[in-house]
Structure 1
């Protein structure tokens, strides 16, 4: 695959892309994160283990979407870029925003409990992402730490204080904050911003 002027592989203007919706339906799969991970395992770029790294990245994105209350994570907001050899690469993330709807479920299947937006559900099928339980828990811990810093990041990005307070009502609501704090406690980390 060629490089774009911006430098990243898989440029939309120069390569072929397909939504997870199209890719999963064409493969006869359920519309879910684990199924998309398995599609990357089967059809992803094997050279250098890129498909394994991208399966892990997809797991991290799923956990991030759960913790940031991004429920607009439907199969059309995930894309695969096709290389010249017909292999898939996970596109850069896009349309990732807190929804503020507090529904408690994602748009795609997360794990054994369907689309329930819980870390336990995300961990329930971690093997589908090529991760052992301990590896998946480490990824969850890292994403929790990242999300705990959301206020600082938003402030540095110029988000107005009033908007941060409004977002805090969703991102730091009990259902999500409790999950982050439980994960921090499990690892002996002081965290879980409030």
Structure 2
């Protein structure tokens, strides 16, 4: 599995209904996409979810061929045409768990951190999981790490809006596409 996300920061006065309309009209185009496990269409609204506005789709790919088809087969071209060239962040899931209510999730809390140099990394997964134990009712959780940068993001999926916490980002989920694996 591979995690992928690009975060498009939008001006503070950007009408987020434009993104809502875009997802409403086009979100289902990734339903059943080959090699995709899930695509979560995420937004942040200034004042409601934090200090900035953003469109930040999060992808979980079961097969790299699907990710390659998406990026190089013309699908990603719509992002380039609409928002310009974006940095696509790639990472490896450390854990990914979804319950039967996952597709009903409406919010995501992202917790980011760094993996510090240690003589043994064997306790890192346990340390990261401890951060998620006391969180609100979650319908899924994914930890994506990048050993090139030794950074990680934990995404906690919820049906109810979580409280904004220091060091966390809150996203609204506009749509979740469930892909098709081989």
- TM-score, length-scaled by structure 2: 0.28
Asked which structure has the greater CA Rg, the reply is 1
The structure showing larger relative contact order (alpha-carbon pairs under 8 Å, at least 6 residues apart) is 2
- TM-score, length-scaled by structure 1: 0.27
Of Structure 1 and Structure 2, which has the larger fraction of its residues in helix?
Answer: 1
